[in-house]
Structure 1
Amino acid sequence: MAREKKNRGASAPQARSVWTDQTVADNPDAPAQRRELNGLKWKRRALTVVAFGAVPAMFLMGAGMVAQANTPEVVDNSAASTIVNSSAGKSEAFRALNAWLNTDPSPLPGGTVVSWDGFTSEEPPAPTSDTEIVKDYRFETHSFTVARGSSMWHASIQVVVDDVIGATATSAPSLEPIADVQVSASDPWFTLQSTAASAQVKQAVDAWAIAFTGGDSDALHQIVQDRDTNRSYIPLYDVQQFVGAEITAAGAKPLETGAGASTDTIVVRVLLSFWWKNGKPAVAENEKEPIPTPIAYDVLVEHADTATPVVVAWGAPGSGPKLTAYSNAVDTILSAPTKGLEEEDATPAPDQTGDTVEGEDQ
């Protein structure tokens, strides 16, 4: 009987699992199978978005960055005083604008430059090839405020600036009218709550106003009630007549609780009216007495809720919330008033020897 030779290189057949049986098919309605099919569908959609959306967007962003690199840069240097004050373009713009206004006939009769308001600088774009000539100049557009009577105007002029050669205006200036509008505010200070000034506060303000316009440093020092004897306060000199002080607004810091405001320290807006020496116009006997144009101050008042309030500081309108007691003091002792208007206009007197002082006709 012949014996069969075993094939040692072949392994014995393995039993198939029932899960891989060809006669068994997946149930597409099964929850697990549905989740798997939905997941594959969303993956295909995500790949489509990346291929047709993100890639073109990245390309466009890259192209935009390249274009931006070749765009002339506009720099606003108006806030850098060290740059603008030494700018060759500024002086040329000023000269060209004045020359333009003074042209006969003038483009704006009676127009005068009120202020210089800043400028923008435009640098040349970078060369795109080795053969392109490099521009060694830049453009500056300077802005001014021009007045003609009560009308205000924006004036702008472009100059070309070469840091080696200098600057030249490229054309005549432009003019744009400034609208004359009235803007109102409910209160003159953002951080203070509106309040009322008492009669005692009014008396304290009047006393300060009289001392402030009286030309006496010691009297003003006493009104402020500063106990430091090593400093002084500077009053207004050459005032001929004090007319009055009008309180137009009062404000106090709100309490931390949010209910009400502080009553001990307040800020008041004061209009001072007075006549300078030799400044009051002469009027006929039957004419009405003229009214002086007032000057405005923010005034800090302490002990405002007592019978003896005290003015302790003053400043420009709007400075009220930042005022601190005795901040107007100067660290020196004033021995004599500043030279006044009458002293400047006075005729020099002869010295004790009877000779005339230097500079007088012999």
Structure 2
Amino acid sequence: MAISIDESIRIFKAEIISQDQRLPQRRSEPLLEACACLKQRFKSRKNILALLGMAEGVVLYMRKRQAVADPECLDFLKETLAHVVNIYEEGKFDPEREEELGRRMYKRFTGLKNQLQERRSPQPANRAATPSQDRPPANTNPPASKASRPTVAPASNAAGAAGSNRPHRYAPIPGESCRLIKIGEFPLLVVGKAVARLAPIKPSERQALLAATEVSLKDFSRLFRRLPRLFHGPLSKIPAGRLKKLKLPLILPRGGGLPPLPPENADHLLVLSHGQWHGVIPVRLAGSKPLTLKRFQAAANGDIAGLGTTDDDASYPLLNPRALLEREGFLTMPERD
């Protein structure tokens, strides 16, 4: 049974004043339920949704560790919950204030993740997941074979999922096809083989999509068309019945000047794939035709791999799909017969 908004606020207040340095199951579950309830209450206010998503990520991280928490995690969680409580009790909608608050807290959230990763980097084999990161180790995935059936397993669904410590080297080959997109007003090249699907969205659907955290792939289906045929790469090999049940997280690249929040002017959904990792990015399509990558100059900055020059001698930042998807994407794993 879903809890009420008032009960959710009470749970937040109790956590803010709690002196316990752990976050046991009996406290983490109500906190997650409260976040889910308040996401519905603030579903049209993207910056509050971002705060609640970051709070969820920290709760999941602390619950996974089941130990005395990092003081920085507790401080961040309590501050984030306090901001949500204050905004609810004030009852005023101040978009400029909420946008500034969202940017400030997201910057702190990113710094917190980096700090935790650096602290645990000397012990990579025993490294705990960082906030919103809950994926199986790479060596536990059963190897694919000709007789394998693809199935799906979640890796990390949160829009604020933390990054991996290992380097994400990505070097596209000149001559590859690529697409030019925009995230907000920021132009970005995406190598064509990473584009599993590029589907238009209606203006009437845009707000609901941006307020959500995931997209159901059955929404891409069309009458008399088998769903797998609409996709490229590994998604096209998943049986239609399983594909219809699959939901991919809405993700947002960051670094190099990319906007910190989902763009409100998106007109397409880009289903991005790299290997068995997948996610959906709300974008604007810049140009109807694919381009050809002429040159690539590596210059890593967040989810940007470097600078790509197309056959018309125009240069744009080029997305690193591996770094983005391994941090925030959804992992499909082959299943042996």
Fold-level similarity (TM above 0.5): no
Larger RCO, structures 1/2 (Cα 8 Å, 6+ apart): 2
Bigger proportion of residues as helix: 2
TM-score, normalization: structure 1? 0.18
